[in-house]
């Protein structure tokens, strides 16, 4: 069970990126997760909820995009998607292959945030109310 430490790394990365961009509250975190990354989705979702408490990510959704395993088939000279992670062979010609093109991703792809929340809500209300 290393999902909690992955959640911590994810939150650290997201917090830094948000701070750099001046984002003060994040509403969703988008993660690209390869099927071979060795991460259990439910455990990560659970870990994220716990680890995000008290940070600017608290209450944010964790949106996970699942990515399949893709290898390069030398015989077909093309990238093929494998139906599972137990059989590293081309589903079309049967040639074994170990050149992994994708499926190991564990990547923070984007953060979603609210525009109004981002530029410190209190002040902007005051400004618009008293022009």
Partner 1 sequence: MSTPRLLEIRQGVLSKNDRLAAELRQRFHAAGVFVVNLLSSPGAGKTRLLEETLRRMGTDLRVAALVGDLATDNDALRLARSGAPVRQIQTGDMCHLEAHLVEQHLDGWNLDDLDVLFIENVGNLVCPTGYDLGEAARAVLLSVTEGEDKPLKYPGAFVSADCVVVTKMDLAEAVEFDQRAAEANIASVHPGVPIVYTSARTGAGLDAWMEWLEHHRCSSHR
Residues touching partner 1: how many (CB under 8 A)? 43
Residue 31 binding partner 1, by CB under 8 A: yes
Backbone conformation region of residue 59, classed left if phi is above 0, alpha if psi is from -120 to 50, else beta: left
Rg (CA), the chain: 20
Residue 66 binding partner 1, by CB under 8 A: no
The window from 45-53, 87-95, 123-131 that contacts partner 1 (CB under 8 A) reads: 87-95
Residue 27 binding partner 1, by CB under 8 A: yes
Q: Which of 15, 46, 49, 108 binds partner 1 (CB under 8 A)?
A: 108
CA gap 23, 40 in Å, rounded: 29
Q: β-strand 69-73 against 78-82: which pairing, if any?
A: antiparallel
Q: Which of 21, 50, 53, 76 binds partner 1 (CB under 8 A)?
A: 21
């Amino acid at each position: 069970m290393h999902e909690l430490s992955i959640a911590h790394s994810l939150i650290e990365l997201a917090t830094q990126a948000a701070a750099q961009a001046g984002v003060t509250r994040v509403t969703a975190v988008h993660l690209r997760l390869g099927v071979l990354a060795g991460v259990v989705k439910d455990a990560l979702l659970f870990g994220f909820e716990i680890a995000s408490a008290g940070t600017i990510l608290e209450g944010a959704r964790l949106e996970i995009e699942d990515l399949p395993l893709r290898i390069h088939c030398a015989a077909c000279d093309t990238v093929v998607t494998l139906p599972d992670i137990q059989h590293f062979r081309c589903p079309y010609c049967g040639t074994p292959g170990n050149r992994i093109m994708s499926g190991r991703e564990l990547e923070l792809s984007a953060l979603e945030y609210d525009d109004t929340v981002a530029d410190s809500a209190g002040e902007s209300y005051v400004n618009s109310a008293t022009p």
